[in-house]
Amino acid sequence: MKYYKKPVTIVFLFVASLLGIGLSYCFAQAESEVHGVAIVSMDVPLSVSIGKKVNIEIVVGNEQKTKVATILTVTCHETGQQIGREALNLDGSSSKKIVYTWNTGGLKEGTYRIHAEVEKIPGETDVDDNVKHLEVALVR
């Protein structure tokens, strides 16, 4: 048994050092992201008759503890139509529900993608949650 003590100890220290480096790297990556604002949810009907008005409900959240200002813009990708644009002031760790009405009059039958985006705030690096898309089928 005395022949295995040193190799086992060396292997253990090597594995422990690798795990330590990996864990510290993971923690450094997580700490470097700066959260800001996000589109928490977006709700539109899946299918609507052409000519009807559609309510688009969006909840924008502030992931920071301090008050922030941003701009929410909602557009229809296929037509380029701006459905709504609004400056928002959000208290720390709060959210706000915004409802826009989209008039589908004059549009053709098909699938339309609704695009919502909140502008990034200064210093924000986690921007993946600043954009959401949903599709609406317009039918006769």
Do 85 and 120 lie in one domain? The reply is: yes
Evaluate if residue 131 carries a pLDDT over 80.
yes
Residues 6+ apart with CB under 8 A from 129: 38, 39
Alpha-carbon gap, residue 8 to 35, rounded angstroms: 44
Structure tokens at 34: 């700066």
Do 11 and 61 lie in one domain? The reply is: no
pLDDT in tens, 50-94: 999 999 999 999 999 999 999 999 999 999 999 999 999 999 999
CA dihedral 46, 52, 57, 58 (to 10 degrees): 80
Do 48 and 25 lie in one domain? The reply is: no
Do 47 and 95 lie in one domain? The reply is: yes
Alpha-carbon gap, residue 127 to 37, rounded angstroms: 8
Do 69 and 10 lie in one domain? The reply is: no
Do 48 and 12 lie in one domain? The reply is: no
Contact 120, 39 (CB under 8 A): no
pLDDT band at 24 (very low <50, low <70, confident <90, very high): very low
Domain hosting 22: range is 1-32
Do 64 and 117 lie in one domain? The reply is: yes
Size of the chain in residues: 140
How many domains are contained in the chain? Answer: 2
Do 75 and 113 lie in one domain? The reply is: yes
Do 71 and 21 lie in one domain? The reply is: no
Contact 99, 6 (CB under 8 A): no
Do 43 and 25 lie in one domain? The reply is: no
